[in-house]
Chain A
Amino acid sequence: MHREHRIVAEHMLETRDLARFFDVSRPPIQRLISREGRRTLRAVDGISFAIPKGTTLSLVGESGCGKSTVARLVVGLYGPTRGEIRFDGQSLATARADPAQRSRMQMIFQDPYASLNPRWRVADIIAEPLRAFKLVDGREAQQKRVGELLTQVGLSPLDAIKFPHEFSGGQRQRISIARALSSNPEFLVCDEPTSALDVSVQAQILNLMKDLQARLGLTFLFISHNLAVVRQVSDRIGVMYLGRIVELAPAETLFTTPRHPYTRALMEAIPDLDMTGRTRTPVGGEVPSPITPPSGCAFHPRCPLANERCRAERPELKSRADAQIACHAVEEGRAA
């Protein structure tokens, strides 16, 4: 099967004003009785970013910020409520309709126990994309390819006849990676791939992923809530809060000069392994519900720099040197 890149774009993936809402209204009878209207969960509310080929963009944030929803939107598991997604220059819908294009994108999931079908053998799990996209013909050739993939992710070809429950969490993630690689993808969406793993196993898997990226020229969209992990793998990082990107910057810039008050608060909140004894002021309050987000800037109830404008007007991402920040205080020069 040949791949014809009819359009060769600079960016592997681009999104513009991407949004996804979910209707979480109560059943009609209950609504009638308590006289309430429809309830909409704004999981993603206007996200724009671009991922150049061969690089890694990470989206980082706490629960409810919408990062997992973005991951699913980007591979077509959900349809967008608003905005557009372009995969290598084409609209995502067009790309997903074409098997040749579809095989270029794959996804790795968070839960190593739920991401492999417990009733299937590892060989069948990994070979599924091969068969679905008709990439390799004949059982023998398929088994050979499966063996190659297993070796590539650090397992043995003999593991192919086993079932998932015979492996540990870290090994299962390797199998998931092997499955993702079997369609020779160029773009990988990784949804918290190491969050469920022990820290020493996490290190193994991250090393493996970086190695594969270097060797195969992969582009990654990496989702995580762990800033330290994100620092190790990313070229650029987007910090998300309540469905919006509040800061988008190259990795080093983000860590050396975080600008958005939420980014700073997040970095402050991370426990200090070095124990330099810095005085930490954890940010107060809790993440509001995405069903009733605050007006204006979503962070204003918890932000020490919030003013009237912050309460009324939603900030847009504006460039500052090599970063983009959505914050009035930064724009107005009020942030230190």
Chain B
Amino acid sequence: MRAFFDSDIWWSFTRSWVTMGSAIVAFICVAGAIAAPLLAPHNPFDLASLELMDAFKPPSWAAEGDRVYPLGTDDQGRDMLSAIMYGARVSLLVGFSATLFATVLGVSMGLLAGYLGGAVDAALMRIADIQLTFPSILVALLIDGIVRAAVPREVHDQIALFVVILAIGVSEWPKFARTVRGSTLVERNKEYVLAARVIGLGRFKIMVQHVLPNVLGPVLVIGTLNLALAILAEATLSFLGVGVPPTQPSLGTLIRIGNDFLFSGEWWITIFPGVALIIMVLSVNLLGDWLRDALNPKLR
């Protein structure tokens, strides 16, 4: 622990106000989202607690606002602040899971392709290349569409969350694979790998025990930057109506719902979720940028 606070990384972290600021903001977002059930002033999905009379209330600082509902309410009387916190929860859940999935899949594929070479490498990289020619949103839409068509409506609603995670995860794995493959190609020829081969260790053992720890460096940076993209991707899909099920609205869903009311004057229903999304994505992005520079040995 001591060593961490002594290290170059911590030092560069504390030097940059922007980074520390983003870290704090990101922490608040994540904490707020995870602890939503505990911290949120209301439960927006408990239908019993909704007061239709309180619908369309503007934010508390406006003329007709109410302190009970700090950011106003939507068309059904749901408290915006609570809705945002619960929504952020879903967004983050999907974002993290999808990125984790993409990381595991991408790193494995990259490692195999780089180390085994030959036909395995060619096959995996061609699949990655083909997939990279499509914008990742389209890939996600495609997967989502296929599942929707293949599976009856009720089942789909149940598994929709997993489908979204799968869709976004699958659309992001090539980036990880490419980078890890490159690093693997470099490490494979290094003499510590040769030494392991001289002893006669099996290929998979060498890949996992020797090569993998040395190629994970850039993965952390890509993962962090991808997290922001995954959150945005989910928001986009939900905004288009093909993302998370309506029973578990994410920030994107909220933005979509609020969109209908934007031009009739109840701007807060869509703007606040939008702002929350931007803040979350921006802080994660800035953290990712700092991490990339901090871990880059050449810049040190």
Contact = CB atoms under 8 A, between A and B. Distances in A.
A183 B198 CA distance: 12
Contact of B192 (A75, A106, A115): A115
B200 A102 contact: yes
A7 interface: no
B225 to A, nearest CB: 23
Interface residues of B, number: 14
Contact of B213 (A76, A111, A119): A119
Nearest to B205: A132
A114 B200 contact: no
Residue among B194, B198, B200 with most chain A CB within 10 A: B198
Interface string B167-205: 000000000000000000000001110111111110000
A304 interface: no
Contacts of B214: 117-119
A110 B191 CA distance: 8
A132 B201 contact: yes
Nearest to B193: A117
Contacts of B148: none
B156 interface: no
Interface in A104-135: 105-107, 109-111, 114-120, 125, 128-129, 132-133
A60 B259 CA distance: 77
B292 interface: no
Contacts of A183: 199
Nearest to B190: A114
A77 interface: yes
Contact of A99 (B192, B197, B198, B200): B200
A96 interface: yes
B200 A107 contact: no
A104 B197 CA distance: 14
A118 B197 CA distance: 17
A109 B191 contact: yes
A328 interface: no
Nearest to A118: B214
A107 B213 contact: no
B194 A107 contact: yes
Contact of A115 (B195, B199, B200): B195
A106 B199 CA distance: 7
A274 B292 CA distance: 53
A122 B285 CA distance: 37
A96 B191 contact: no
Contacts of B201: 132
Contacts of A115: 190-192, 194-195
Contacts of B213: 117, 119-120
Contacts of A244: none
A129 B199 contact: yes
Residue among A110, A114, A176, A183 with most chain B CB within 10 A: A114
A117 B190 CA distance: 9
A236 interface: no
B195 A132 contact: no
A179 interface: yes
B198 A76 contact: yes
Interface string A295-318: 000000000000000000000000
Interface string A68-81: 00001001110000
Contact of B198 (A106, A116, A117): A106
A172 B59 CA distance: 66
B199 A128 contact: yes
8 contacts: A77-B197, A99-B200, A102-B199, A110-B191, A114-B191, A114-B192, A115-B195, A128-B196
A-B pairs, top 5 by smallest CB distance, nearest first, are: A115-B191, A109-B191, A119-B213, A117-B192, A114-B190
Interface of B: 190-192, 194-201, 210, 213-214
Interface of A: 72, 75-77, 96, 99, 102-103, 105-107, 109-111, 114-120, 125, 128-129, 132-133, 176, 179, 183
Given A115-B195, A132-B200, A176-B195, 18 more contacts: A72-B194, A75-B198, A77-B198, A99-B200, A103-B199, A106-B199, A107-B194, A109-B195, A111-B191, A114-B192, A115-B192, A115-B194, A116-B192, A120-B210, A120-B213, A125-B192, A128-B199, A132-B201
